[in-house]
Structure formats: C-alpha cells, structure tokens
C-alpha cells in the first residue's frame, strides 16, 4: 500500500522559510504574469534576492513552486483537520469539510489557481498534474480518518479525485458570498457518489443472492 507523505518538511533545511516566502510571492505575481520565469524573477526582485537566488531555491522553476505550494496546502489542511473536532462527524461530512478547508486556503488566490490549472492542463505537464491531484486526495482522505488498506483505498481516491476536481473548477467561477454555491455543489456531488455506492451495494447483494440460489450441478 502506497500512501503519500503529509509530514512536515525537515526543520534542518535553512532555506525552508525563504522558499515559502518566495513561493507565496510567486503566487501573487502569477495572478498577473502567469506561472513563468518572468513571474519568478519578479518575485525574487520583490524579496530583494540577488540574481540567480530564486532559481537556486527552486531549480525546477515555476512547476517546482506549484508542487511546493500544493504539498504545503495538503499538509496544512491535514493539520487543520487534526485540530478540528471531527470525530463525531459522519465520513461524508468529514470529506466535505476536508475539501472545503483545502479550497478555502486559496480564497484570495483564485486567479493564480486558475492560471496554475491552465499550466498543468498542458499535455507535457500531465504526469505532474496527476501526481499533485493524487497527493491532494490522499491527504484529504487521510485528514478524514481513512484507514483502509484493501482495494477500496484506491477506489476512494479515484472517486474523490473526480469530486475534488469538479468542485475546484466550480469554485473558480463562483462569485456567491462565502462561495455558498460551491459548497451546495459539493453537497450534490457527494450525494451522487453516496447514491451510486448504495446502488452498487444493492446490486452486489442481489448478485450474491442469485448466485446462492442457483442450482448446483
């Protein structure tokens, strides 16, 4: 069983705070200039970094920064969920809260997120996009308290990937106060998934019953 790590980065990295500041500044610049080298250089200048320092901190360029920001958001979402009182919630409500918490972390960065999605949608970035999406939905299930180790470990993540992706796209264009339309959309998507799971369970039960009633030869 393979689970992505959501542990905090090692404190021994002396560049970690500066990387965070540069990544945050890059996100601000990306809202206007996109996730490119121009925005990275502008972010470095804004922080007063010497020439080449931004590239040293993120040798992989803007795509590495996207990965850094996504992983950090996953980690902080898990931390927020661990600090919240979610034990009494049903699993569907934990998932809703986890998705909402993850999206609300970027409430002020929608344009940067929109441009990031456009970049990750390019064919040559498909592998990175898939890796980041998997890591996010794995973190969300982890935050919701999932401990499965059977095949459902993968089916849960595949299902949530669809829910999270569609909710993210809806959220990007939502202008309702407090993104209430997005949370209603999320409710509907999860309700659809729950209904599908109930139907699948009924079909399995019916199939098992028919198999048990079949005459033996």
Any idea what the CATH number is for the domain that residue 91 is in? 1.10.357.10
- How does pLDDT run across 181-197, given as a tens digit for each residue? 999 999 999 988 877 65
Establish if 15 belongs to a structural domain. no
Establish if 14 belongs to a structural domain. no
Establish if 125 belongs to a structural domain. yes
- How does pLDDT run across 66-97, given as a tens digit for each residue? 999 999 999 999 999 999 888 889 989 999 99
Establish if 52 belongs to a structural domain. no
Establish if 40 belongs to a structural domain. no
C-alpha–C-alpha distance, residues 5 and 111, integer Å: 28
Structural domain total, the chain: 1
Question: Two tokens at 93?
Answer: 């409500």
Establish if 38 belongs to a structural domain. no
Establish if 91 belongs to a structural domain. yes
* Residue 217 binned pLDDT confidence (cut-offs 50, 70, 90): low
C-alpha–C-alpha distance, residues 213 and 200, integer Å: 20
Domain interval for residue 112: 63-213
Question: Two tokens at 36?
Answer: 């490119």
Establish if 204 belongs to a structural domain. yes
| SS3 of 1-47 | CCCCCCCCCCCCCCCHHHHHHHHHHHHHHHHHHCCCHHHHHHHHHHC
Burial class of residue 98 (count of CB atoms within 10 Å of its CB; 0-12, 13-18, 19+):
buried
């Amino acid at each position: 069983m393979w689970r992505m790590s959501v542990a905090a980065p090692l404190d021994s990295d002396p560049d970690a705070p500066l990387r965070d500041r540069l990544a945050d500044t890059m996100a601000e610049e990306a809202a206007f200039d996109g996730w490119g080298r121009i925005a990275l250089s502008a972010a470095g200048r804004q922080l007063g970094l010497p020439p080449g320092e931004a590239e040293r901190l993120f040798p992989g360029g803007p795509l590495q920064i996207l990965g850094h920001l996504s992983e950090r958001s996953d980690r902080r979402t898990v931390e927020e969920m661990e600090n919240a009182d979610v034990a009494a919630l049903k699993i569907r409500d934990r998932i809703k809260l986890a998705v909402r918490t993850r999206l609300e972390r970027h409430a002020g960065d929608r344009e940067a997120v929109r441009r990031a999605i456009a970049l990750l949608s390019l064919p040559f970035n498909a592998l990175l996009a898939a890796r980041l999406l998997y890591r996010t939905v794995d973190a969300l299930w982890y935050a919701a308290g999932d401990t499965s180790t059977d095949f459902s470990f993968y089916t849960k993540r595949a299902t949530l990937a669809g829910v999270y992706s569609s909710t993210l796209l809806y959220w990007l264009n939502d202008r309702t106060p407090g993104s209430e339309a997005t949370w209603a959309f999320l409710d509907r998507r999860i309700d659809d998934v729950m209904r599908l799971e109930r139907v699948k369970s009924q079909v399995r039960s019916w199939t098992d019953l028919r198999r048990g009633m079949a005459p033996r030869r």
